[in-house]
């Protein structure tokens, strides 16, 4: 940390109005289960899960629907008991509105959990690897938004010498309060989940970073963590994007993660507090991740607040259950800064859904994009220290390599630059576009390389076949020659005999 930062405080980030209350203060509600649930097979980073159920099959709540396939993947479980109606495509909760494979379940009206087979009497007596295995089996993914399979991160602990666990309770996005509510209402469970994670990773201490605009959550967590010295609650200043793992890390430890590195390189693993709770539920009660707390906020909702929502419940069903005051100008899944604008309401809630924002026209007001005046507001706001205006200018002229040179790959797409931009330039969309374009080019490159290998293999095959053919021809020729010789010899022998006889 430089001297300037010591005196004037860290310069990165922005301070949007948090708009978390009153939704955050309303007690948690359970939402009525709808008649049908649509569970996507890919709710995580990595390969989609492979279905293991058949249409018409009856499943219990928490029963395995699809197993993880590949190194990076996560299992999917039935959010409610019922009958499998179909396995097919559903609209993904994604700005593109493209379909994703999923399983539709018709709810049978009961609330019957699938019986777990081997509940440990004392979870802390389990081997650390066993915790990782159970977390993977429960299909737990990072609940902070990226939805990276948690078991992979936990198993990383032993290998890369993790000494500290950071629990991300920053929840820096405006409007959202699902982590806040979780920490207030389930502080004891969350702390137990944190201790289980410590056990699984072999880390010595856990720091729970909570933004100071959530005093109730800080109080609840401090009280719950008091008996356990290894779990420390650390309030951090409210500032967006405090919930970014690298920023929470540097705020708590005073160190900075290198540009192309991860916090694990420095022996620190970052998990969301929601993930800790899910781990506790999975290990202690054998309950896989099938429902989560979702913040319903924004001016268009009738009753904003936090609800426990089963994974796979359609946004349309939530709208029916909670009610809208008016047609929302924008319907966003996640936070207003990094969330996804939904293509419609026929979209299911997934494991990574932190909130559903129904914003009124006033709240969603976005100005028309105007030319850049090079005011450099975005440079000051960028939490990663990039030059958003320069990168966007290069991307606009298709100079993607130039944008990468300026650090495009370090962009965390937090949206600070676009938020401060007085010209309303959609900077984040530029960066999203460029990242996608670069990924597509990398894929094309891989494909070209694969084609080259295939062409070489074909050339080799043709050569081999030609050789074999030539060899076979030569063999046949030799055989024929031998046969002819034999025949000639036989003929000669007969001739000899006849001459002898005559």
Looking at 457, 478, 481, 492, which residue binds another protein (CB under 8 A)? 457
Which stretch, 151-159, 218-226, 237-245, 434-442, contacts another protein (CB under 8 A)? 434-442
Complex with another protein: residue 232 or 429, whichever CB lies closer? 429
Complex with another protein: residue 462 or 486, whichever CB lies closer? 462
Q: Tokens 């099938």 sit at which residue?
A: 290
**452 lies in the site for another protein, by CB under 8 A:** yes
Give min distance, CB of 37 to another protein, in A: 20
Complex with another protein: residue 365 or 450, whichever CB lies closer? 450
Output the six-digit token pair for 481.
Answer: 């020659």
Do 178 and 270 meet the contact criterion of CB atoms below 8 Å apart?
no
Of 92, 277, 244, the closest CA to residue 178 belongs to 277
Complex with another protein: residue 456 or 486, whichever CB lies closer? 456
**498 lies in the site for another protein, by CB under 8 A:** no
**445 lies in the site for another protein, by CB under 8 A:** yes
Alpha-carbon distance values, 459 to 176, 201, 333, 453, 469 (Å): 59, 50, 51, 10, 15
**441 lies in the site for another protein, by CB under 8 A:** yes
Tell me the CA end-to-end span of the chain in Å, nearest whole number: 119
Helix axes 128-137, 187-201, angle to 10 degrees: 120
**326 lies in the site for another protein, by CB under 8 A:** no
Which stretch, 305-313, 328-336, 443-451, 475-483, contacts another protein (CB under 8 A)? 443-451
**468 lies in the site for another protein, by CB under 8 A:** no
How many residues can be counted in the chain?
502
Q: Classify residue 365 by burial, with Cβ atoms within 10 Å: 0-12, 13-18, 19+.
A: exposed
Give min distance, CB of 44 to another protein, in A: 12
Alpha-carbon distance values, 500 to 485, 490, 494, 497 (Å): 21, 15, 9, 5
**437 lies in the site for another protein, by CB under 8 A:** yes
Q: What DSSP line would sit under 36-77, residue for residue?
A: EEEEES--SSSSPPEE---TT-EE-BT-EEEE--SSS---EE
Residues 6+ apart with CB under 8 A from 268: 162, 163, 164, 165, 166, 249, 253
Sites for another protein among residues 55-114 (CB under 8 A): 92, 94-96, 98, 100
Looking at 325, 458, 464, 476, which residue binds another protein (CB under 8 A)? 458
**398 lies in the site for another protein, by CB under 8 A:** yes
Residues forming beta bridges with residue 64, ordered by sequence position = 77
Give min distance, CB of 446 to another protein, in A: 10
Helix axes 187-201, 178-185, angle to 10 degrees: 100
Complex with another protein: residue 465 or 479, whichever CB lies closer? 465
**368 lies in the site for another protein, by CB under 8 A:** yes
Which residues of this chain interact with another protein, rule CB under 8 A?
Answer: 42, 92, 94-96, 98, 100, 368-371, 390, 393-401, 425-426, 429-430, 432-433, 436-437, 439-441, 443-445, 447-448, 450-452, 454-455, 457-458, 461
């Amino acid at each position: 940390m430089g001297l300037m930062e010591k005196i004037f405080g860290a310069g990165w980030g922005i301070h949007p109005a948090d708009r978390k209350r009153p939704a955050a203060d309303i007690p948690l509600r359970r939402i009525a289960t709808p008649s049908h649930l649509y569970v996507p097979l890919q709710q995580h980073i990595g390969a989609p899960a492979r279905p293991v159920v058949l249409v018409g099959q009856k499943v219990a709540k928490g029963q395995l629907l699809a197993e993880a396939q590949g190194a990076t993947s996560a299992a999917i479980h039935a959010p409610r008991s019922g009958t499998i109606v179909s396995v097919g495509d559903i609209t993904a909760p994604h700005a593109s509105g493209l379909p994703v494979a999923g399983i539709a379940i018709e709810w049978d009206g009961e609330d019957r959990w699938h019986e777990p087979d081997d509940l440990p009497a004392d979870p802390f007596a389990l081997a650390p690897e066993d915790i990782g295995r159970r977390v993977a089996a429960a299909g737990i993914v990072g609940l902070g938004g990226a939805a990276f399979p948690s078991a992979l991160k936990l198993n990383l602990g032993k290998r890369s010498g993790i000494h500290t666990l950071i629990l991300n309770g920053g929840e820096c996005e405006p409007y959202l309060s699902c982590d806040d509510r979780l920490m207030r209402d389930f502080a004891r469970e969350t702390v137990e989940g944190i201790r289980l994670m410590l056990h699984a990773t072999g880390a010595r201490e856990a720091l729970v970073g909570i933004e100071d605009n959530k005093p109730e959550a800080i109080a609840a967590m401090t009280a719950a963590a008091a008996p356990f010295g290894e779990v420390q609650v650390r309030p951090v200043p409210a500032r967006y994007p405090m919930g970014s793992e690298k920023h929470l890390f540097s705020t708590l430890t005073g160190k900075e993660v290198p540009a192309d590195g991860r916090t694990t390189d420095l022996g620190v693993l970052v998990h969301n507090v929601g993930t800790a709770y899910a781990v506790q539920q999975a290990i202690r009660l054998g309950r896989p991740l099938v429902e989560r707390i979702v913040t319903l906020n924004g001016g268009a909702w009738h009753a904003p607040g936090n609800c426990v929502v089963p994974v796979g419940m359609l946004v349309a069903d939530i709208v029916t259950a909670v009610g809208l005051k008016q047609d929302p100008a924008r319907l966003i899944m996640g936070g207003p800064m990094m969330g996804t604008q939904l293509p419609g309401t026929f979209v299911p809630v997934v494991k990574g859904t932190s909130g559903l924002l129904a914003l009124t026209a006033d709240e969603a007001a976005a100005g028309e994009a105007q030319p850049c005046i090079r005011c450099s507001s975005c440079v000051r706001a960028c939490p990663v220290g990039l030059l958003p205006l320069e990168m966007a200018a290069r991307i606009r002229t298709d100079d993607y390599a130039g944008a990468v040179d300026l650090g495009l790959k370090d962009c965390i797409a937090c949206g600070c630059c676009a938020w401060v931009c007085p010209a309303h330039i959609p900077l984040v969309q530029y960066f999203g576009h460029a990242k996608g374009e670069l990924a597509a080019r990398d894929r094309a490159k891989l494909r070209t390389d694969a084609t080259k290998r295939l062409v070489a293999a074909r050339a080799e095959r043709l050569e081999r076949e030609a050789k074999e053919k030539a060899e076979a021809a030569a063999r046949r020729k030799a055989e024929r020659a031998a046969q002819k010789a034999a025949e000639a010899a036989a003929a000669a022998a007969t001739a000899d005999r006849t001459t002898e006889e005559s």
